[in-house]
Amino acid sequence: QVQLVESGGGLVKPGGSLRLSCAASGFSFSDHYMSWIRQAPGKGLEWISYISSSSGTFFYADSVEGRFTISRDNAKNSLYLQMNSLTAEDTAVYYCVRTARRLDYWGQGTLVAVSS
């Protein structure tokens, strides 16, 4: 069965960095676009980034452009999100999501808290 398991979240100070990972299994990872979607506490969903299957196409929301970098390693069935210059507004649960015309599989999420 399809599984997406995020890791790397935690508490970080403003201006700090964090790298999230997502381990994928149960499907052909290299055939699928992948996304990071986040949800601030008590708020709605925000699509912040996606990457194509071959890493040739990227998308970043304005809110993270220039600070976050999405990447993948198809040999390791893994998705990453490097997050720099973090602010309190980046505090959220970050979900790794398999992406086609639909978002059909979601990880359980990893919490990132930015606070001094």
Partner 1 sequence: ELVLTQSPGTLSLSPGERATLSCRASQSLSINYLGWYQQKPGQAPRLLIYGASSRATGIPDRFSASGSGTDFTLTISRLEPEDFAVYYCQQSGNSPYSFGQGTKLEIK
Q: What is each CA distance from 114 to 19, 26, 86, 88, 92, in whole angstroms?
A: 13, 33, 7, 5, 9
Convert residues 10-49 into a mask of x (bound to partner 1 by CB under 8 A) and - (unbound).
Answer: ----------------------------------xxxx--
Options 5, 23, 103, 113; binder of partner 1; rule CB under 8 A: 103
Spatial distance between the Cα atoms of 29 and 14, rounded to a whole number of angstroms = 33
Q: Which stretch binds partner 1 (CB under 8 A): 11-19, 70-78, 84-92, 100-108?
A: 100-108
Residue 86, C-beta contacts closer than 8 angstroms, at least 6 positions apart: 12, 14, 15, 16, 17, 18, 67, 112, 114
Q: Does 89 bind partner 1 (CB under 8 A)?
A: no
H helices of 43-116, in order, are none
Q: Is the CB of 1 or the CB of 116 nearer to partner 1?
A: 1
Q: Does 106 bind partner 1 (CB under 8 A)?
A: yes
Q: Is the CB of 11 or the CB of 100 nearer to partner 1?
A: 100
Tokens of 65: 């452009």
* Footprint of partner 1 (CB under 8 A): 44-47, 50, 59, 61-62, 95, 99, 101-104, 106-109
